[in-house]
Amino acid sequence: MEVEMVIGDKAYSEQKNIEEAQEGGYELISRLNGIITQGNRTKEDEFEFNKDAGMYQCKAGHLAVHKYLDRRKKEKKNKNPRMIYFFDIEKCKCCPYRDGCYKEGAKKKTYSETLKSDAHSKQAEFQETEHFKEKMKERYKIEAKNSELKNRHGYDTATSSGLINMEMQGAMAIFAVNLKRIIKLINEK
């Protein structure tokens, strides 16, 4: 059997799955998690990126004084690299927006931005294509079938213990749903 495409929800769009799809030569139709595409910061928490300077600036308009690329090689090998921007602490001490931004006694003020991996960047571009959007529209059918299996055919809870028994229960539930579909198609003819 040759797999050409895998359609899944956001849980399937982790970096490992994206890379396996690229290596395996099949398409992964799965939206990236919002934290990867937009980040997890709130709007009032955001710093603005100044394209001319290539640095972030705070609400008060102060630019970062320097930046550092943290590749995370030691303790967090599987994490994406991040760019850390450092701000002048003396400006932060007398800034009108320091409440909630600057902590008294802090030795430095930083703002970090996680950089997308190549796999995530390619997937983000791919999910904007018409092909991706058309295939994603088919996802609701899969969710409806999963719901039917769980709610009507007992696929949500194991009725007996042991891996073999659980596999048998799953196979029987899927067989019953497929049989219902076949009968429905025969009756439509």
Residue from 50, 51, 60 nearest 99 by CA: 60
| CA pair distance 145, 12, nearest whole angstrom | 18
| CA pair distance 116, 120, nearest whole angstrom | 6
Residues 64 and 124 in one domain: yes
**H runs (alpha helix) in the chain:** 15-24, 34-37, 89-93, 118-126, 130-136, 139-152, 163-188
Which tens digits make up the pLDDT trace of 77-87? 667 788 899 99
Which tens digits make up the pLDDT trace of 5-39? 998 888 888 888 999 998 999 999 999 887 777 66
Total domains, the chain: 2
Range of the domain at 180: 140-188
Q: Two tokens at 51?
A: 């394209």
Residues 56 and 97 in one domain: yes
pTM of the entire structure?
Answer: 0.60
Residues 86 and 114 in one domain: yes
93 conformational bin, left if phi > 0, alpha if psi -120 to 50, beta if neither = alpha
End-of-domain residue from the set 98, 113, 132: 132
